Structure 1
Amino acid sequence: MVAAIATPQKESPLLFAKLTWREFKAVEQLLDRPGYRISFLDGTLEIVKMPGEPHETIKERLGALLELFLLMGGFDFTPTGSMTLESEGVAVKREADKSYKLAPDRKLPDLVIEVVFSSGGIDKLEAYKRLKISEVWFWEDGLLEIYHLRREDDGLHYEKISKSEAVKGIDLDLFLRCINMANHVEAIKTFQQTLQK
């Protein structure tokens, strides 16, 4: 049996509705402090207190495993971390936990990853759809959900998929098992050894 990382109890974000973009930007400057993340969608300001070590451990493990896969798979990628993604034109500001450009000369990331330790809040998929992010991964409660952006006659929408289209060939069962292992070094070694087979 593989020991898993313990997850803390989920907290709900603070939400403030009916703000203009200008009001949001003023509040954003006042709240620019470590330990908090703010997002904005359609006049709603979301303030989330970062849950600390468990969140950061999962985030960094996920990033280390993914970057190992991308490197060994020959992807020409650039990690862009939790870069701010915002557009006044579509009334969105969002910072993912991890993000990646998966080809050279990209303006925005192709992939964003959210490690979810809160409940409720703004519609993150709607925010990323407006920013036209190709693929979004959510890790929550030891599970991974993947959404890929589709363009159809009626516009853009995300489709939940079982295999990544942005990171082709990744074994998501192995990836998830390694993310959820208690020991970081053992998780990386297990993942690397399997990739080398």
Structure 2
Amino acid sequence: MTLSMHPPLSPVAEQRVLLSGVTWPQYESLLEIFGDRPGLRLLYSEGMLEIFIPSSEHEMLKKVISRLLERYAEEVDIVIHGYGSTTFRSEAKAQGLEPDECYCVDTLKEERPDFAIEINLMSGGIDKLAIYQGLGVPEVLIWQNNALALYGLRGEIYQEVPCSQFFPGLDFGLLAQYVQPYNQPQAVKAFLEAIRLRQE
């Protein structure tokens, strides 16, 4: 299957505000006020608060990556439960965020997801891996500079890893080739064809 190519996506319209000296009660109050507002994310790390409004490109990228991952899981019979951008937080660790997308594998776990997806189109801001570390999320997949990088929690630190404990047969380099937001239906079909060819 041939897929038409489009120019690289631009981070235009991404908006971010950083505030320091924010207490945990203030963060929780802001979550109550703004937590259900679509298109607005709150990230908190040890007194730093980031108010983030993702661009349409950001949202398209997270959606195509999640579609590819979900179809792969269906294809190889891995049970996943999607949480979307649910807010996860830990007062003890003073960390909180809403992942772009996240999943529990096999069984639902209320305290944290097993696997999260993050889109980084802008530099700067709060270190999301530090938040995920505080929350104890085992794996985080990050899209940055038109490539995917997978990070696994080893002890108390993240290390870039070549394969996932939750999706052990998935080649993320292959998946990255089909991250084509303007061709989502065709990209998903072509990705599944590539997976099936590898399984023959």
Is this a same-fold pair by TM over 0.5?
Answer: yes
Aligned length: 192
1:189 Cα offset (Å): 1.1
Distance 2:181 2:94 in 1: 38
1:163 Cα offset (Å): 2.2
Distance 1:116 1:171 in 2: 20
Match of 1:193 in 2: 193
Match of 2:84 in 1: 81
Runs of 5+ unmatched residues, structure 2: none
Moved more, 18-27 or 38-47: 18-27
Match of 1:8 in 2: 10
Runs of 5+ unmatched residues, structure 1: none
Change over 3 Å in CA distance of 1:30–1:80 after alignment to 2: closer
1:12 Cα offset (Å): 6.2
Distance 1:5 1:79 in 2: 30
1:174 Cα offset (Å): 1.8
Map 1:9-48 to 2 at 5 A: 9=11, 11=14, 13-32=16-35, 33-48=37-52
Residue by residue over 1:88-112, the C-alpha shift from the partner in whole angstroms, topping out at 9 and shown as x without a partner, is 1111111111101012143321100
Residue by residue over 1:143-169, the C-alpha shift from the partner in whole angstroms, topping out at 9 and shown as x without a partner, is 111100011xxxx11011122232111
Map 1:1-197 to 2 at 5 A: 3-4=5-6, 6-9=8-11, 11=14, 13-32=16-35, 33-52=37-56, 54-107=57-110, 108-151=112-155, 156-180=156-180, 182-197=182-197
Distance 1:40 1:115 in 2: 17
Distance 1:7 1:135 in 2: 25
Distance 1:28 1:105 in 2: 23
- Answer whether contact 1:76 1:103 (CA < 8 A) is retained: yes
Residue 44 of structure 2 aligns with an amino acid whose one-letter code is F
Residue by residue over 1:8-38, the C-alpha shift from the partner in whole angstroms, topping out at 9 and shown as x without a partner, is 2365621111111112222333444332211
Distance 1:80 1:12 in 2: 24
**Percent of aligned positions that are identical:** 29
Change over 3 Å in CA distance of 1:60–1:105 after alignment to 2: closer
- Could you say what secondary structure the match of 1:34 adopts? coil
CA RMSD of aligned residues (A): 1.9
- Which TM-score applies when normalising by structure 2? 0.88
